[in-house]
């Protein structure tokens, strides 16, 4: 057992390229005490998909520096797929024929919420914890509408909770003295639950049982919500009308669905699972549009490049095939010698995916048989990537590592990181990241604390600490960092996402104030 509470034997066996179906029960730990799953058969979804199509078609448009951790490298790092081996990766998924539409190339992206005045140009942010969304269970997943009107959380208890965030911010209900006892002094507002519903899955024999919520994503207007289940199913739920009704079950993955991301146009969905597959779904039909094969372990994060705008979409004229650039496979699955170089300046959308074994891959989603561009793990770095994010300008990628560090990659600057941000020695693995609107600050969550890092501070300068500690959390694994598009609020739920690590079950809300 490591100092941060991560079981090294577990990581060796289950996370770094290992693990058959029989490993799932040992991973789920106490989750199986709640769910006596009898099978993981794929359930037919014909009748559900008709309703799904109707629903979606109705949518409008430290100062301290830690030395490189040399443990757990050897055999584990050798298992990571190298660039020359990526074209041999296969998906153990039955693809649909005919495939669904690659919606991101046929519908314009949603217009994002405008950032508050001063947030893009400020020197720093005042991050003040003021809210606690009290929850008795680990929170594996959290999502919210872009304006933060509604917040949704889910975890090991098998329920999806809908929170009225406006009422919470306005202090309609306060925490009791007992609830505030373990909180910092500024946290006084209690989260207000608007509703909740059972997160039910259909297992063998048509039996419905509760499933932990491993991942979630919600439509921008809260018309519907998608959730990842233990069996590998993806549930599509109605929110605005007939709340909590399961419209569809999307059934292709074979293990828990750990990541869900709605495409910028909101007609597609990208899912990542413990079965190592990344899939693009057409929500109009419920069919698979594309599969991305290249990862050798459980998928930990998926993010579209944030610069896919209406202007870039218009320049493509709705085309689905790339004109040039990128790495593509021929009909035999071999990489084409004529297109080995990845086109970082493509006008098409880029997708970034990471897996627990440390891989970070970039995809040109337009290519029917795209090969990814790998961002290499530095030498002597333990395989680990529980979270990654883009910078707001889409030019850099930040990957959180197990050895208390964050690797910064720059598009077109090679496959190795341009620098590494090192947290104090006892901070623990970096489990969640999020970029701030000013492009200068990065929120990074590790086992001991949540920090906001000043990226303009030279890494070699020892006279100043390049980060500030955000009060509130201490001693728990943060499952995600959620910042609304206007940069007014931030949420940091605690949970291990079904992997390993301790949790304090806190879900804290922060108010962000630009300081110029």
Least confident stretch, 3-12, 61-70, 467-476, 498-507: 61-70
What does CATH list as the number for 8-61+80-103+116-515?
Answer: 2.130.10.10
pLDDT reported for residue 285: 94
Helix (H, G, I), strand (E, B) or coil at 155: strand
Start-to-end C-alpha separation, the chain = 44
Give me the chain's average pLDDT, please: 80
State residue 460's pLDDT score.
62
Residue 464 pLDDT more than 50? yes
pLDDT mean over 397-402: 95
pLDDT tens-digit map of 183-227: 899 999 999 999 999 999 998 888 999 999 999 999 999 999 999
Structure tokens at 286: 């419920």
CA angle in degrees (0–180, nearest 5) for 170-174-177: 155
Q: List phi, psi (to 5°) of 509.
A: -110, 140
Q: Tens digits of per-residue pLDDT, 68-92?
A: 333 333 334 434 445 445 656 778 8
Would you say 514 and 483 are in contact if contact means Cβ atoms under 8 Å apart? Answer: no
Share of the chain above pLDDT 70, in %: 76
The yes-or-no verdict on residue 500 having pLDDT over 50 is yes
* pLDDT at res. 462: 63
Residues 462-477, mean pLDDT to the nearest whole number: 84
Dist CA 68 CA 89 (whole Å): 30
Query: What digits encode the pLDDT tens for the residues 27-59?
Result: 333 333 333 332 333 233 333 333 343 333 333
User: Given CA atoms 383, 499, 40, 21 in this order, what sign does their dihedral have?
Assistant: positive
- State the pLDDT at residue 85: 58
**According to the model, what pLDDT value does residue 192 have?**
97
pLDDT band at 378; cut points 50, 70, 90:
confident
Amino acid 325: pLDDT: 41
**Model confidence at 6, in pLDDT bands (50, 70, 90)?**
very low
pLDDT tens track for 313-366: 887 754 444 443 444 444 334 444 334 467 676 667 899 999 999 999 999 887
> pTM for the whole thing?
0.81
Domain boundary assignment for the chain: 8-61+80-103+116-515
DSSP character at residue 215: E
Q: What's the pLDDT at 18?
A: 39
Contacts of 166-175 with C-beta under 8 Å, sequence gap 24+, read 167/192, 168/131, 168/133, 168/192, 168/509, 169/130, 169/131, 169/489, 169/509, 169/511, 175/132, 175/134
Question: What pLDDT score was predicted for residue 341?
Answer: 64
Percentage, residues of the chain above pLDDT 90? 58
Q: Per mean pLDDT, which range of 17-31, 102-116, 445-459 is the poorest? A: 17-31
């Amino acid at each position: 057992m490591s100092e941060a509470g991560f079981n090294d034997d577990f990581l060796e066996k289950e996370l770094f390229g290992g693990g058959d179906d029989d490993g799932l029960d040992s991973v789920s730990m106490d989750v199986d005490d709640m769910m006596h799953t009898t099978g993981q058969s794929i359930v037919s979804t014909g009748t559900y998909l008709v309703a799904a199509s109707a629903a979606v078609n109705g949518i409008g448009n430290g100062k301290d520096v830690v030395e490189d951790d040399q443990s757990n490298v050897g055999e584990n790092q050798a298992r990571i797929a190298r660039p020359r081996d990526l074209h041999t990766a296969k998906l153990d998924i039955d693809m649909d024929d005919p495939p669904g539409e690659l919606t991101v190339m046929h519908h314009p992206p949603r217009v994002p919420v405008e950032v508050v005045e001063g947030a893009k140009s400020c020197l720093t942010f005042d991050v003040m914890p003021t809210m606690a969304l009290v929850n008795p269970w680990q929170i594996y997943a959290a999502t919210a509408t872009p304006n933060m009107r509604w917040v949704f959380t889910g975890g090991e208890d098998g329920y999806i909770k809908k929170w009225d965030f406006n009422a919470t911010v306005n202090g309609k209900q306060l925490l009791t003295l007992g609830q505030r006892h373990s909180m910092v002094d500024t946290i006084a507002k209690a989260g207000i639950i608007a509703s909740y519903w059972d997160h039910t899955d259909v297992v063998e024999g048509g039996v419905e049982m509760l499933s932990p919520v491993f991942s979630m994503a919600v439509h921008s207007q809260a018309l519907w919500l998608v959730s990842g289940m233990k069996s590998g199913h993806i549930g599509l739920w109605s929110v605005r009308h007939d709340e909590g009704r399961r419209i569809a079950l999307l059934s292709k993955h074979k293990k828990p669905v750990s990541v869900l991301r709605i495409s910028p146009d909101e007609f597609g969905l990208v899912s990542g699972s413990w079965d190592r597959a990344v899939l693009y779904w057409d929500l109009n039909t419920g069919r698979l549009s594309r599969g991305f094969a290249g990862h050798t372990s459980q998928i930990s994060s998926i993010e579209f490049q944030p610069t896919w705008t209406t202007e870039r979409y218009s320049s493509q004229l709705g085309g689905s095939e790339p004109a040039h650039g990128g790495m593509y496979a021929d009909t035999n699955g071999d990489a084409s010698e004529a297109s080995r170089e990845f086109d970082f300046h493509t006008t098409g959308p880029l997708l970034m995916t990471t897996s627990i074994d440390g891989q970070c891959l970039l995809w040109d989603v337009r290519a029917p048989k795209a090969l990814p561009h790998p961002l290499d793990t530095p030498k002597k770095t333990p395989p680990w990537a529980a979270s990654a994010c883009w910078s707001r300008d889409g030019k850099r990628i930040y990957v959180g590592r197990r050895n208390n560090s964050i690797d910064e990659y720059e598009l077109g600057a090679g496959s190795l990181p341009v620098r590494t941000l090192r947290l104090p020695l006892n901070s623990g693995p970096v489990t969640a990241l999020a970029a701030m609107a000013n492009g200068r600050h990065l929120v990074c969550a590790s086992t001991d604390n949540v920090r906001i890092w000043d990226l303009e501070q030279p890494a070699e300068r020892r006279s100043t600490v390049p980060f500030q500690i955000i009060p509130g959390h201490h001693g728990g694994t943060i499952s995600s960092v959620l910042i609304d598009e206007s940069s007014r609020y931030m949420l940091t739920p605690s949970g291990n996402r079904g992997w390993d690590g301790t949790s304090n079950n806190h879900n804290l809300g922060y108010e962000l104030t630009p300081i110029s």
